[in-house]
A and B are shown apart, each in its own frame.
Chain A
Amino acid sequence: MMLKSLALLAAMALGTAASAEEMKMAVTTSFANSGLAEVLLPEIEKDTGITVQLLVVGTGQALTLGAAGDVDAVLVHSRAAEDKWLAEGNGTHRREIMYNDFVIVGPSTDPAGTKTATNATDAFKAIAAAQAPFVSRGDDSGTHKMEQALWKTAGIEPVGDWYRSVGQGMGAALNTAAGMNAYILADRASWLNFGNKADLAIDFQGDPALFNQYAYLPVNPEKYPHVKAELVEKLEDWLVSDKAKGLIEGYKIAGQQLFVFNAQPE
């Protein structure tokens, strides 16, 4: 019995460690929920032979996993946190890949009147002034950080019954907003792909302040010699290639392009 169970455990361990061309990358929920990963990963495997195993977490957790050496690279979207992470010696460099944008989703009747706002800050001010229910990710993710930055620019400390911090991923937070018929800041891709829209709609969009830059950050192989630096570099070359550009810009949901490729050649 004992031997059998040990053999079972050993077989499980070996089964996952056997293939050499595997690497782990922590990505944000917004990237994975957009559905773009399902388009890119098979092509990456075909072109480079690399199987990329995705860990879908918030930007905060993604950077923590990278700092602990548990993944080989991260793909996230929060500039300030990324710079701090690099300064701490966790990664080698930062490579911008693409951007998408955030939208303010809310009740289709728009009770706070955000549709007529001139920019994102004004829209947030309108929500706070109307004390309209607002769901915050509250999970230290890239989206949450963007939201906090907008409140700061608006000079508002969001507190009160109307402000609900749920501490969940994008999908769970959207579910909560749909249930409460509340406003929420979401990335466009997650919103378009979301299946439970209820009475919600995009109330405000298009302010350049809402642009959401994704960057690829390899984990520092000097700090963690076990990271697969060679595969990480191969993947980076693929991500900035013309092939990737075509796939990223060609990815559409409901006729809308979601991501704009903006990687610069080295």
Chain B
Amino acid sequence: MNDIWQGLAQAARLIVARDADLIEIATLSLQVSLGATLVASLIGLPLGAWLAINRFRVRRVVIATMNALMGLPPVVVGLFVYVLFSRSGPFGVLGLLFTPTAMVIAQVIIITPIVASISHQAIRDLWADYHDLLISLNASRTQRIKALLWDGRRALMTASLAGFGRAIGEVGAIMIVGGNIDHATRVLTTAIALETGKGEFGMALALGFVLIALAVLVNLTVHFLSRTERGSRW
């Protein structure tokens, strides 16, 4: 229990002093996780919508697979990306291993199924309501997806934020493909793992509190910018 108070005090000290190392790793955490969320949303949101309004033979299999992939162990994804991007692997010539780019790639693989599954669920419900209208308007497939994505934007925001939440708290994959290199690929979660390994629980908890604060801040900002949960609007 004592460690927790120490952690809180330490977190406050680091923030007040604008600790240079803390700012560096927190910034990289945000860059990597937001980058991964952006890419995963660009893939996952349209994919979820497309799966919701199209009927094809293996649709159920695809959806079930996508749902199952939400539970992918990050360590396995990390290892997979490592093997692909290792110098002795197929994409080794790119020299991307142990760079933030490799970390973004790993996180995109982890969170795209989450974004796609949640958006699929939301769009499917919306599609049930809009089906007759959009068909009678003779809307094209692209127009249907666009209309559904726009009108379902609040639910889709939740899908993206769920992806972001998984990304910013993830450590297993980025530890392997990023390597936790000081001043290069160290982010909040890998720094927490490092401090825990050193037995510095106070510092580890302090970084944990900063991580939580950052996640809350990002969510608040998104809600504020999109003006949800205000007044009579839903």
A80 in contact (CB, < 8 A) = no
Which residues in A have their C-beta under 8 angstroms from that of B92? 69
Which residues in B have their C-beta under 8 angstroms from that of A195? 198-201
B180 in contact (CB, < 8 A) = yes
B31 in contact (CB, < 8 A) = yes
**In the bound complex, how far is the Cα of B103 from the Cα of A9, in angstroms?**
11
Which residues B61-105 have CB closer than 8 A to chain A?
86-89, 92, 95-101, 104
A117 in contact (CB, < 8 A) = no
B152 in contact (CB, < 8 A) = no
**In the bound complex, how far is the Cα of B35 from the Cα of A197, in angstroms?**
40
Which residues in A have their C-beta under 8 angstroms from that of B182? 53-54
**In the bound complex, how far is the Cα of B180 from the Cα of A16, in angstroms?**
14
What's the dominant secondary structure at chain B's contact region? Answer: loop
For the complex formed, measure the closest distance between the CB of B203 and the CB atoms of chain A, giving whole angstroms.
Answer: 8
**In the bound complex, how far is the Cα of B97 from the Cα of A15, in angstroms?**
14
Q: Per a CB cutoff under 8 Å, which of B98, B100, B194 touches A53?
A: B98
Asked whether B99 lies within 8 Å of A5 as measured between CB atoms, the reply is no
Asked whether B196 lies within 8 Å of A16 as measured between CB atoms, the reply is no
Q: Per a CB cutoff under 8 Å, which of B35, B99, B181, B197 touches A54?
A: B181
Asked whether B101 lies within 8 Å of A55 as measured between CB atoms, the reply is no
For the complex formed, measure the closest distance between the CB of B179 and the CB atoms of chain A, giving whole angstroms.
Answer: 4
Question: What 0/1 readout, one digit per residue, does chain A (32-62) give for beta carbons within 8 Å of chain B?
Answer: 0100000000000000000001111000000
Which residues in B have their C-beta under 8 angstroms from that of A54? 181-182
**In the bound complex, how far is the Cα of B86 from the Cα of A170, in angstroms?**
26
B9 in contact (CB, < 8 A) = no
**In the bound complex, how far is the Cα of B31 from the Cα of A70, in angstroms?**
24
Q: A9-B104, A56-B180, A69-B86 are in contact. Are A174 and B42 (CB under 8 A)?
A: no
Q: Per a CB cutoff under 8 Å, which of A8, A55, A197 touches B38?
A: A8
B215 in contact (CB, < 8 A) = no
Which residues in A have their C-beta under 8 angstroms from that of B31? 12
Asked whether B197 lies within 8 Å of A171 as measured between CB atoms, the reply is yes
Which residues in B have their C-beta under 8 angstroms from that of A172? 196-197
A17 in contact (CB, < 8 A) = yes
**In the bound complex, how far is the Cα of B86 from the Cα of A15, in angstroms?**
19
Q: Per a CB cutoff under 8 Å, which of B38, B42, B184, B197 touches A33?
A: B197
**In the bound complex, how far is the Cα of B38 from the Cα of A29, in angstroms?**
34
Asked whether B95 lies within 8 Å of A226 as measured between CB atoms, the reply is yes
Q: Per a CB cutoff under 8 Å, which of A1, A2, A70, A171 touches B87?
A: A70
Q: A1-B42, A9-B101, A196-B201 are in contact. Are A17 and B95 (CB under 8 A)?
A: yes
Asked whether A53 lies within 8 Å of B184 as measured between CB atoms, the reply is yes
What is the interface residue range for chain A against chain B? Answer: 20 to 34
Of listed B89, B101, B194, residue having the most chain A CB within 10 A: B101
A133 in contact (CB, < 8 A) = no
Which residues A155-201 have CB closer than 8 A to chain B?
169-172, 174-175, 178, 193-197
Asked whether A55 lies within 8 Å of B42 as measured between CB atoms, the reply is no
Which residues in B have their C-beta under 8 angstroms from that of A8? 35, 38
Which residues in B have their C-beta under 8 angstroms from that of A99? none
Residue of A nearest to B34 (CB): A8
**In the bound complex, how far is the Cα of B46 from the Cα of A2, in angstroms?**
13
B39 in contact (CB, < 8 A) = yes
Asked whether A16 lies within 8 Å of B99 as measured between CB atoms, the reply is yes
**In the bound complex, how far is the Cα of B104 from the Cα of A193, in angstroms?**
33
Which residues in A have their C-beta under 8 angstroms from that of B38? 1, 5, 8
A-B contact pairs, 25 of them (CB 8 A): A1-B38, A1-B42, A2-B42, A5-B39, A5-B42, A8-B35, A8-B38, A9-B101, A12-B99, A13-B96, A16-B184, A53-B98, A53-B182, A54-B182, A56-B194, A68-B88, A69-B86, A70-B86, A70-B87, A171-B197, A171-B198, A171-B199, A175-B199, A193-B198, A195-B199
- 17 further A-B contacts with Cβ under 8 Å, apart from A5-B39, A55-B98, A69-B87, are A5-B38, A5-B42, A8-B35, A12-B99, A12-B104, A13-B99, A15-B100, A16-B99, A24-B181, A56-B194, A69-B86, A69-B92, A70-B86, A171-B198, A175-B199, A193-B198, A195-B198
Cβ-closest 5 pairs across A and B: A171-B197, A196-B199, A69-B87, A195-B199, A16-B99
